[in-house]
């Protein structure tokens, strides 16, 4: 069986991906990979400085990338609700990764079901 790589991700043109923890690690590389495959990427981050640096990294790695920032602190339900409202106000399909801080007791962050247009895809890390 051949090894799966990011180049196996199919064309994402016309789709919007919401990526949590987008300023580093898996979230940043997921953002880069999806942008490279043509997705519009909503990068959800809690720190404005780290978010801007990550956005610059995505744009440097993927010239012409369509990427935007969403302020989201998953440790704050008020922030989650504000981010959900913000994302729901934008036409989007959501594809999200989940940082370690996410606690299942809390209400879910923005997901495919909270977004306003189909088709929808939601991916969460364990
Ligand atoms: N199943 C597996 O095989 C596997 C393998 C690797 C990783 N994982 C999991 O995948 C997730 C990401 O891993 P990683 O290596 O990419 O971790 P990482 O480099 O530490 O990145 C975590 C990201 O989550 C963000 N974050 C943390 N707390 C947050 C909060 N309260 N609100 C919003 N964002 C927050 C961080 O932002 P800040 O920069 O602001 O802190 C950072 O961008 C983790 O849950 C990890 O356990 C699973």
Note the pTM of the prediction, 2 decimals.
Answer: 0.81
Residue pLDDT, tens place only, 29-56: 999 999 999 999 999 999 999 999 999 9
Pick the CATH number of 14-101+110-114 from 3.30.950.10, 1.10.10.10, 3.40.50.720, 3.90.1530.30: 3.40.50.720
CB 61 within 8 A of CB 36: yes
Q: What are the two backbone dihedrals, phi and then psi, of residue 44, each rounded to the nearest 5 degrees?
A: -90, 115
Using a 6 Å CB cutoff, which residues line ligand 1? 21, 23-27, 46-47, 50, 72-75, 99-101, 125-126
- Number of alpha carbons in the 13 Å side-chain half-sphere of residue 55: 18
- Percentage of the chain beyond pLDDT 70 is 71
Q: How far, in Å, is the centroid of ligand 1 from the Cα of 26?
A: 7
* Rounded Cα gap, residues 98 and 7, in angstroms: 22
Does position 121 have pLDDT exceeding 70, yes or no?
no
**Three-class DSSP category at 45:** strand
CA 96 from centre of chain: 5
């Amino acid at each position: 069986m051949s090894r799966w790589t990011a180049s196996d991700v199919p064309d994402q043109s016309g789709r919007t991906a919401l990526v949590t923890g987008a300023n580093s690690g898996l979230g940043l590389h997921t953002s880069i990979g999806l942008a490279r495959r043509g997705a519009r990427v909503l990068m959800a981050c809690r720190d404005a400085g780290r978010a801007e640096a990550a956005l610059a990294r995505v744009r440097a790695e993927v010239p012409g990338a369509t990427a935007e920032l969403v302020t989201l602190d998953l440790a704050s339900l008020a922030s989650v609700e504000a981010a959900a409202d913000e994302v729901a106000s934008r036409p989007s399909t959501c594809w999200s990764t989940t940082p370690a801080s996410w606690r299942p007791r809390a209400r879910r962050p923005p997901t495919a079901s909270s977004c306003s247009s189909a088709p929808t895809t939601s991916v969460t890390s364990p």
